[in-house]
Amino acid sequence: MRLRILIAALAAFSGAAHSADLLSQQCVACHAITKPANASLERLWDRKAPDLYYAGNKFNKPWLVSWLQNPTTLRAGGVMYSKAVKPSGDKTADVIDAAQVPAHPKLSAADAATAADLLMALKVDGLVTPGAFKGEPGGPMASMLFSKLRGCTSCHTAKAGDKPTSGPEMVTAGDRLQPDFVHAYVSNPQKFDAHVWMPSLGLTDGDVQKLTAYISTLKEKK
Amino acid sequence: MKFSLNMNHVYALIALGIAVCTTDAAKADEAHAVKLYNTYCVQCHGVNRDGNGINSANMAVKPRDHTDTKAMGDTPDETLFKAIKGGGLAVSKSVLMPKWEGVLNDDEIKELVAYLRVVSKTTAK
């Protein structure tokens, strides 16, 4: 209810009541924009799209504005990869059934700007610690940590054209994600959802700093 | 025909009741284990549980084939439990098998170990 009021207020302020309607009536059909009361494994299987109730702690606004107008695939297998994977049929790696992965609607430039404003206002206290990422370069070992030493590349692609994986692509993560969010999520994914299938690896803060620095350098080449 | 219930019949009925309940409980555990497997394990170990998960294409070490009766039969329950809980490094295997203790509790890990015996057609060791 509070969010609806917020959306209404922001829409009135920006003079874009239509966009606010679009958000409050359409986005919520798939995304949770308030913290779900039932954080169960079943909910992870049932939800239609990633949670956005901490979008303001997570995303970089310019990326949101751009992506909402021209959405790309962030999760090859959709929000719940297990519903989209199927055997290859020839004893090689499973493949994605693209029919199970719906595309995100495209928004107009005006709607995208309004949606980004509203999404950036969705924040949760205590989830992400501002300044947790110290901003130091990852050094030569950082990419090695991501690929070989900690095995992040098993589930997350880091280069355009890599084979699909169960986790979101990191190819554009530097454009998309706030470094303090990356630090918080890598440190403890279960803090965001107790049942999510990214494991807590028990990394040292030194490793998390290096990984965050590396992930922040992964940007779309323009 | 007159049917009279003696104590042996009562014992037999109680035993049957216990057996039915135990089977139901085991089935419920297995259904839960399947859900857990399909959430956490399928990404690497595959829809067919044969090590061909969607992520296996990007991995330097191929995930364990859980349908491999010989290899799974040679692996004790304790090792399977440790591998799931503490990851590959806890059993001197690949770092690519992560530790799941932050997501799964001990009872859930035991359910998965029991389910692996079903998948691999092996018995507990």
Distance CA A166, CA A78 (A): 9
Query: Does the pLDDT value for residue B10 go beyond 80?
Result: no
- Spatial contact of A138 and A214, defined as CB atoms under 8 Å apart: yes
Interface check B105 vs A, CB under 8 A? no
The proportion of chain A whose per-residue pLDDT surpasses 90, expressed as a percent, equals: 83
Interface check B44 vs A, CB under 8 A? yes
Distance CA B99, CA A77 (A): 23
Please write down the long-range contacts of B106-109, taking CB distance under 8 Å and 24 or more positions apart: B108/B32, B108/B33, B108/B36, B109/B81, B109/B84, B109/B85
Residue A143 is predicted with a pLDDT of 94
Confidence at A165, pLDDT banded by 50, 70, 90: very high
Residue B118 is predicted with a pLDDT of 97
- Pick from B46, B60, B98: CB nearest A94: B46
CA of A57, closest CA in chain B: separation in Å? 23
- Spatial contact of A11 and A3, defined as CB atoms under 8 Å apart: no
- Pick from A162, A166, A200: CB nearest B43: A166
How many independent structural domains does chain B possess? Answer: 1
- Spatial contact of A172 and A220, defined as CB atoms under 8 Å apart: yes
- Pick from A41, A154, A163: CB nearest B35: A41
Note down the domain range covering B80: 7-120
Residue B83, both tokens: 């591998």
Range name among A16-20, A176-180, B58-62 with the lowest pLDDT average: A16-20
Residue B4 is predicted with a pLDDT of 65
- Pick from B54, B60, B87: CB nearest A85: B54
| Probe site for chain A from B55, B104, B108, B109 (most A CB atoms < 10 A) | B55
Residue A185 is predicted with a pLDDT of 98
More confident residue, A118 or B8: A118
Q: Tell me the CATH class for A81-105+129-222.
A: mainly beta
> How large is the average pLDDT for residues B51-74?
97
Chain B hits for A158, CB-CB cut-off 8 Å, are none
- Spatial contact of A68 and A47, defined as CB atoms under 8 Å apart: no
Query: Does the pLDDT value for residue B13 go beyond 80?
Result: no
Residue holding tokens 């090590």?
B51
- Is B110 within a domain? yes
Q: Residue A198 corresponds to which amino acid?
A: M
Residue of B nearest to A43 (CA): B39
- Is B23 within a domain? yes
- Spatial contact of B51 and B66, defined as CB atoms under 8 Å apart: yes
> How large is the average pLDDT for residues A54-61?
98
- Is B1 within a domain? no
Distance CA A90, CA B34 (A): 23
- Is B55 within a domain? yes
Residue A145 is predicted with a pLDDT of 94
Distance CA A159, CA B54 (A): 17
Residue A38 is predicted with a pLDDT of 84
Residue A11 is predicted with a pLDDT of 45
Please write down the long-range contacts of A25-31, taking CB distance under 8 Å and 24 or more positions apart: A26/A105, A27/A52, A27/A115
Confidence at B51, pLDDT banded by 50, 70, 90: very high
B74: CATH: 1.10.760.10
> How large is the average pLDDT for residues A9-21?
51
Interface check A153 vs B, CB under 8 A? yes
Distance CA A128, CA A53 (A): 13
Q: Report the predicted TM-score, pTM, of the whole model to 2 decimal places.
A: 0.88
Residue A12 is predicted with a pLDDT of 44
A-B interface: how many C-beta pairs under 8 angstroms? 98
Range name among A24-28, A137-141, B118-122 with the lowest pLDDT average: A24-28
Q: What is the ipTM of this complex?
A: 0.89
Distance CA B31, CA B119 (A): 13
> How large is the average pLDDT for residues B32-49?
98
- Is B50 within a domain? yes
> How large is the average pLDDT for residues B46-75?
97
Interface check A191 vs B, CB under 8 A? no
CA of A89, closest CA in chain B: separation in Å? 10
Q: Give the H or E element holding residue A86.
A: strand A85-86
The proportion of chain A whose per-residue pLDDT surpasses 70, expressed as a percent, equals: 89
Confidence at A163, pLDDT banded by 50, 70, 90: very high
- Spatial contact of B82 and B115, defined as CB atoms under 8 Å apart: no
Query: Does the pLDDT value for residue A9 go beyond 60?
Result: no
Neighbouring residues of A80: CB distance < 8 A, sequence distance ≥ 6 = A44, A45, A47
- Pick from B39, B58, B103: CB nearest A154: B58
What are the structural domain ranges in chain A? 2-71+108-120, 81-105+129-222
Interface check A157 vs B, CB under 8 A? yes
Phi, psi of A177 (to 5 degrees): -110, 145
- Is B80 within a domain? yes
Q: What is the mean pLDDT of chain A?
A: 90
